[in-house]
Structure 1
Amino acid sequence: MRYKTNHTASAPSKVRRVKPAEVRLGELMSAAEQLFLAKGVDSTTINEIVELAQVAKGTFYHYFASKNELLAAMGERYTAQFLQRLEEKIETCQADDWLGRLCVWIQESIKAYADTYRLHDIVYTNHHHHNRSNREKNAILAQLQLILENGTRVGVWQIAEPRITSLLIYAGVHGVTDDIIASPETDREHFIRVVLADCLRMVGVSER
């Protein structure tokens, strides 16, 4: 004789998936970026940011004490993305092609800055630019300096002070790119070729 059991299959309980902290941070910063670009920092409220990011307001304050702290984090993310964009282009060159890597660094620096200057201006406030030891600038300089040091090591050029030359190229590239941002009708490709030629003369080589 078979006996019926009273056991019934229970429905699987719903497990609430908690997003990793880096995902929530990314969502908050992406929402803020969208709103800051559309409305400006001062006109954007924290309520609007959390609503667009679809997180609780308490989540915002778990990570940031204020919009200023959020902006600082966005600045770090901007620099990381900028560096990654340059690195990906640099890595298309042969490992020992230091002239090619320098050319790519200069060309892509102009393009990346011109493409993202509005976000750059939002996350890099005036006081940031006057911080002479800011780590974001130093991270970009270190990338360029490594190229110059290795090029000197293998004899592509002779640079006595790679750090100083890096500062000159960095400041020059950044400064001249403001010119094409202010004059969008400028022929960008021609502009990049001229800047590249001038930077290469600075290190004593001709454009390839």
Structure 2
Amino acid sequence: MRTVKEHNERLHEILDTAQKLFAEKGYGKCTVNDILNEIGIAKGTFYHYFKSKEEVLDAIINRAAGQVLERAQEVAANTDFTPEEKLYHIFMAMRMEEETDTMLIEEMHRMENALMHQKSLTTVVTLTVPVLAAVIEEGNRSGVFCCDYPEEYMQIFMASAVTLLDDGIFGFSPEQQRGIFKALIFTLGKMLGVDEQALWEKAAGHWM
């Protein structure tokens, strides 16, 4: 067990350090040697865990997306929430608020990091859609929702939301973003078969 623990500790040390350096120096400018020097490890140790800097990036994105997924699953399993409340809280749980995450998000918004940005958005959508679809199916069973295509609708909604509301893609003003957000909520209401205005009033109170 001790060997496994040490392995995981070193793995996360590399990821934590790389994430910090990617945010500070920029992914393109940060080298494997920068990561090695920051931690104080040999190249052999690094390559025992990762084949390349790109593989480290994938692991960082997957770890962040996994944390979002974990929070979403925790909300979905909470029996104190109604299906409607679960949706609100899952969407809120998808926000990244830690300083390092914020810096990394800003770094991803740079043109040269478009691939990194795309990977992060795709991963989050792919992981969270099944959780959201399960909540909608729960709402269908209880009569709260009337949605014929839970998974497909969530794919459409999430793909639209993460791109349209992302500052690094379209760069809409806050006023424009609020209008888009409202339109998305009204669209969600139609998808779920609920009153759109009532859904907007609740959503605005939670998210804005």
Instruction: Say whether the fold is shared (TM-score over 0.5).
Output: yes
Alignment of structure 1 residues 3-22 onto 2, 5 Å: 20-22=6-8
Q: Is the 8 A contact 1:93 1:101 kept in 2?
A: no
Write the distance in 2 (CA, Å) between the matches of 1:88 and 1:191: 30
Cα 1:42–1:183 shift into 2, 3 Å: closer
Alignment of structure 1 residues 50-199 onto 2, 5 Å: 50-88=36-74, 94-95=80-81, 97-109=82-94, 111-112=95-96, 115=102, 117-118=105-106, 125=116, 128=119, 137-179=125-167, 186=174, 194=182, 195-199=184-188
Write the letter of the residue equivalent to 2:116. T
What's the offset of the Cα at 1:129? Answer: 7.8
| Structure 2 spans left out of the alignment, 5+ residues | 203-208
What's the offset of the Cα at 1:61? Answer: 0.6
Write the distance in 2 (CA, Å) between the matches of 1:108 and 1:196: 17
Identity rate, percent: 26
Write the distance in 1 (CA, Å) between the matches of 2:25 and 2:167: 25
Larger radius of gyration: 1
Deviations 1:155-200 (A, max 9, x none): 1111111111111121122122215986586279967972444423
Cα 1:42–1:77 shift into 2, 3 Å: same
Write the distance in 1 (CA, Å) between the matches of 2:58 and 2:145: 37
Q: Is the 8 A contact 2:76 2:131 kept in 1?
A: no
TM-score for both structures, normalised by structure 1: 0.71
Aligned pair count reads 187
Write the distance in 1 (CA, Å) between the matches of 2:161 and 2:147: 18
What's the offset of the Cα at 1:125? Answer: 2.9
Decide which structure has greater helix share.
2
Q: Is the 8 A contact 1:33 1:119 kept in 2?
A: no
Q: Is the 8 A contact 1:107 1:192 kept in 2?
A: no
Q: Is the 8 A contact 2:165 2:181 kept in 1?
A: no
Write the distance in 2 (CA, Å) between the matches of 1:156 and 1:127: 34
CA RMSD of aligned residues (A): 3.7
Q: Is the 8 A contact 2:71 2:90 kept in 1?
A: no
TM-score for both structures, normalised by structure 2: 0.71
Write the letter of the residue equivalent to 1:100. E
Structure 2 match to 1:3: none
Write the distance in 2 (CA, Å) between the matches of 1:107 and 1:18: 34
